[in-house]
C-alpha cells in the first residue's frame, strides 16, 4: 500500500497561489479551457485578470460547507424561488472577475434574464446571496475585503461570512451595513432576499 505523503505532515495546509497570466493574453474560451484542465483546483479570477489557484479544503471545512448548502437546498425546494450553487459554482461578475462562493443562490428573475444556454457555462451574473466559510488557512481580513469589494460591490444583496472556529457570522448587505452575530446558539434570517429561510448555526457546530 502506498503511504499518503501528507499523512505525517502536520504542517500541511491548503494553499492559495496568485498568478498573473497577462503575457499569455488568454481569451475567455482559453480561460475556460484552463479551468477545465485543472479541475482539482478551485480557480478564481480578479477584475485585473490575475488568477487565484486554491487547493481542495480540509474535511472540517468541507463538512460545514455541505451542511450550509443542504439547508439552503431544503429551503429552495420548498419555495422554488431560484437556484442554489454549491462550492464549485463559478460566476462571471459585472467587473469581469470570476469568483466561486462556498454557497450561493440566484433568483428565478435573474436567471430568466440570461440567455438560455448560460446555465451551461460559468454563469454571467451576480448571485443574490452568497456564503463564504472561513477555513484554517484563510485570513479574516482578506475574506472581509472579498465580501465588500467583490460580492457587495458587484450586486449581491446579502452575504454571510461564517467563521466556524470562532463561531461568528459576519452579515453584509447591499446598503453597506455590516453586523456580526456571535455564537452558534441562534438562527440567522435570509430576510427579504431569501424569505422564510433561516440558517441553523448550531448544526454547523456539529458538522
Residue 118, domain CATH: 3.90.1570.10
* Domain-located, residue 2: no
Q: Is the pLDDT of residue 141 over 90?
A: yes
Q: How many domains does the chain have?
A: 1
The predicted pLDDT at position 17 comes to 62
* Domain-located, residue 135: yes
Rounded Cα distance, 45 and 37, in Å: 16
* Domain-located, residue 17: no
Domain membership of residue 151 as a residue range? 58-206
The predicted pLDDT at position 75 comes to 98
> Which residue, chain included where needed, has cell 457587495?
152
- Tell me the per-residue pLDDT of 5-22, one tens digit each, with 9 for 90 and over: 344 445 455 555 665 555
* Domain-located, residue 14: no
pTM for this predicted structure: 0.85
Burial 107-133, CB ≥16 within 10 A → b, else e: beebeeeeeeeeeeebbebbbbbbbbb
The predicted pLDDT at position 7 comes to 40
Amino acid at each position: 500500500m502506498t503511504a499518503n505523503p501528507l499523512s505525517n505532515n502536520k504542517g500541511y495546509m491548503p494553499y492559495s497561489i496568485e498568478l498573473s497570466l497577462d503575457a499569455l493574453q488568454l481569451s475567455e474560451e482559453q480561460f475556460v479551457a484552463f479551468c477545465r484542465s485543472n479541475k482539482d483546483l478551485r480557480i478564481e479570477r480578479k477584475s485585473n485578470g490575475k488568477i487565484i489557484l486554491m487547493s481542495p479544503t480540509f474535511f472540517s471545512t468541507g463538512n460545514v460547507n455541505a451542511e450550509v448548502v443542504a439547508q439552503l437546498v431544503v429551503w429552495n425546494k420548498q419555495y422554488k424561488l431560484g437556484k442554489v450553487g454549491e462550492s464549485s459554482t463559478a460566476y462571471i461578475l459585472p467587473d469581469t472577475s470570476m469568483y466561486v462562493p462556498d454557497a450561493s443562490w440566484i433568483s428565478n428573475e435573474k436567471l430568466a434574464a440570461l440567455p438560455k444556454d448560460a446555465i451551461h457555462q460559468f454563469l454571467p451574473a451576480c448571485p443574490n446571496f452568497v456564503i463564504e466559510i472561513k477555513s484554517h488557512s484563510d485570513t479574516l481580513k482578506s475574506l472581509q475585503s472579498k465580501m465588500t469589494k467583490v460580492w457587495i460591490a458587484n450586486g449581491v444583496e446579502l452575504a454571510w461570512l461564517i467563521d466556524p472556529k470562532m463561531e461568528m457570522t459576519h452579515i453584509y448587505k447591499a446598503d453597506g451595513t455590516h453586523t456580526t452575530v456571535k455564537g452558534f446558539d441562534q438562527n440567522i434570517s435570509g430576510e427579504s432576499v431569501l424569505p422564510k429561510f433561516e440558517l441553523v448555526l448550531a448544526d454547523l457546530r456539529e458538522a
